[in-house]
């Protein structure tokens, strides 16, 4: 889109739910599409509807979703819920008339995208992890495009690569705003601020290991530590006592509303390797010690760490090896001196894809809508503008990765976007 042009507002439906990892990029895309003058609706489940951060303008529609576990006796119930959700989505489409539907994986995407494909509505799936999720694998052959957060994605059928676009994983606006803020100064006698999180499934192992691991650092480093750590409520007092015993200042909490600010102040992050966590660390440029959740489907959290570790911005420790001694060892390897820590921060920053929301919005906009209504030039040169738009649309209609203009990602040898 060139300056001085007007977009005719269109309607888009996003489907995401279950966890913040699915919803955060959906919220970011919704914000970008709304900024461009479009109308956006969200289809989610009850869990997703309770997750904070939804933009005020975004109308949410809660549908039943089917879950298919290992027990086949529950599959009929799951299928019934999927069909009910599909019918509800179809009724929404009849009134909302979306130009395209975007699924972000997870259970709410399944009935929504099935409804879209049966209605002939262009559809896109976005994969946040470095392994294509089960729902996205099932839908991959049915949709017009697959957007990914990484240039290399496991479990992606080679026949679908022609319609795959590496857009990156959109992050929250307040985090993206920190991208051009310098890494915090780290004077030789200044504080070394460590941020520790783990989420509801991971905070317990962090609480058990991190205090003792930090205590094993050399005295010159340990005396400078200032820790902020997320804990489960039932672990709070035990963790506080450990830090008190080690004489390490620590602020503990079950949830931090100002997480973006705390990430900006941190010199080192220790935590899980969820898709949104990696996207935010690389957007801001913060070195990390990453401990993948061992029960993550297809071990996708371990795969998420690959790019950042290869670039030198992080160290990965499997949970079975995540001991106090190993943590101290990996911190020293990453932060052997102030220059080493700053270099790791820069390596993490180089892996960031700050234009992910814009790239994804461009891809979504390329489906549906009339060309003459989609771009209206103000002043002269209407023919050239329409021709340029039509050329872009034609290229995408073949689902190639050769995208003109701002959609081209320049990758370094380590696969990080520049």
Side-chain-side CA neighbours of residue 166 (13 Å): 18
- Measured CA distances, 141 to 78, 123, 149, 234 (Å): 22, 11, 19, 45
Kindly report the backbone phi and psi dihedral angles of residue 147, in degrees, each rounded to the nearest multiple of 5, phi listed first: -100, 135
The domain over range 176-350 is classified in CATH as 3.40.50.150: no
Q: Is residue 203 very low, low, confident or very high in pLDDT (cuts 50, 70, 90)?
A: confident
**Alpha-carbon distance 74 to 76, whole Å?**
6
User: What pLDDT is stored for residue 198 in this prediction?
Assistant: 83
Tens-digit pLDDT profile for residues 259-299: 899 999 999 999 999 999 999 999 999 999 999 999 998 99
- CA-CA-CA-CA torsion sign (211, 215, 216, 220): positive
Q: Max CA-CA distance within the chain?
A: 73
User: What pLDDT is stored for residue 412 in this prediction?
Assistant: 38
**Alpha-carbon distance 196 to 207, whole Å?**
9
CA angle 95, 96, 98 (to 5 degrees): 135
**Alpha-carbon distance 267 to 286, whole Å?**
7
Tens-digit pLDDT profile for residues 329-353: 999 998 777 789 999 999 999 999 9
User: What pLDDT is stored for residue 166 in this prediction?
Assistant: 98
Burial pattern 381-410, b for ≥16 Cβ within 10 A else e, equals eeeebbebbeebeebbeeeeeebeeebebe
Q: Pick 3 or 121 by higher pLDDT.
A: 121
pLDDT at 75 over 70: no
Dihedral-angle region of residue 181 (phi above 0 means left; psi in -120 to 50 means alpha; beta otherwise)? beta
Domains in the chain: boundaries: 5-169+354-407, 176-350
Please give the CATH topology (third level) of the domain spanning 5-169+354-407: Rossmann fold (3.40.50)
Rg (CA), the chain: 23
Average pLDDT, the chain: 85
Q: Is residue 7 very low, low, confident or very high in pLDDT (cuts 50, 70, 90)?
A: low
Tens-digit pLDDT profile for residues 174-194: 999 999 999 999 888 889 999
């Amino acid at each position: 889109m060139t300056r001085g042009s007007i977009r005719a507002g269109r309607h888009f439906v996003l489907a995401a739910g279950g966890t913040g990892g699915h919803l955060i990029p959906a919220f970011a895309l919704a914000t970008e599409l709304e900024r461009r003058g479009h109308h956006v609706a969200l289809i989610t489940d009850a869990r997703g509807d309770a997750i904070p951060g939804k933009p005020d303008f975004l109308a949410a529609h809660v549908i039943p979703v089917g879950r298919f576990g290992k027990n086949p006796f529950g599959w009929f119930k799951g299928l019934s819920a999927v069909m009910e959700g599909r019918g509800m989505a179809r009724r929404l489409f009849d009134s909302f008339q979306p130009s395209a539907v975007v699924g972000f994986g997870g259970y709410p995407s399944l009935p929504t995208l099935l409804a879209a494909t049966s209605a002939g509505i262009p559809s896109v799936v976005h994969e946040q992890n470095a392994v294509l999720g089960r729902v996205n694998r099932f839908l991959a052959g049915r949709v017009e495009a697959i957007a990914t957060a990484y240039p290399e994605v496991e479990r992606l059928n080679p026949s679908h690569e022609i319609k795959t676009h590496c857009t990156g994983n959109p992050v929250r606006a307040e985090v993206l705003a920190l991208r051009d803020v310098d890494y915090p100064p780290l004077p030789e006698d200044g504080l070394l601020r460590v941020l520790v999180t783990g989420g509801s499934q991971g905070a317990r192992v962090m609480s058990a290991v991190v205090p003792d691991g930090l205590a094993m650092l050399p005295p010159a480093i340990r005396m400078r530590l200032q820790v902020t750590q997320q804990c489960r409520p039932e672990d709070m007092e035990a963790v506080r006592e450990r830090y008190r015993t080690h004489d390490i200042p620590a602020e503990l909490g079950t949830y931090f509303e100002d997480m973006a600010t705390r990430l900006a102040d941190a010199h080192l992050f220790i935590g899980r390797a969820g898709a949104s966590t990696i996207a935010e660390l690389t957007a801001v440029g913060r070195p990390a010690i990453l401990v993948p959740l061992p029960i993550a489907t297809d071990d996708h959290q371990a795969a998420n760490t690959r790019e950042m570790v290869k670039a030198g911005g992080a160290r990965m420790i499997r949970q079975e090896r995540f001991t106090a001694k190993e943590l101290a060892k990996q911190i020293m390897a990453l932060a052997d001196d102030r220059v080493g820590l700053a270099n790791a921060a820069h390596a993490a920053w180089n892996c960031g894809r700050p234009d992910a929301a814009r790239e994804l919005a461009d891809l979504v906009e390329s489906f549906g809508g009339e060309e003459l209504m989609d771009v209206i030039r103000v002043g002269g040169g209407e023919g050239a503008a329409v021709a340029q738009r039509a050329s872009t649309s034609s290229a995408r209609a073949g689902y190639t990765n050769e995208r003109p203009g701002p959609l081209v990602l320049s990758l370094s040898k380590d696969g990080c976007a520049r």
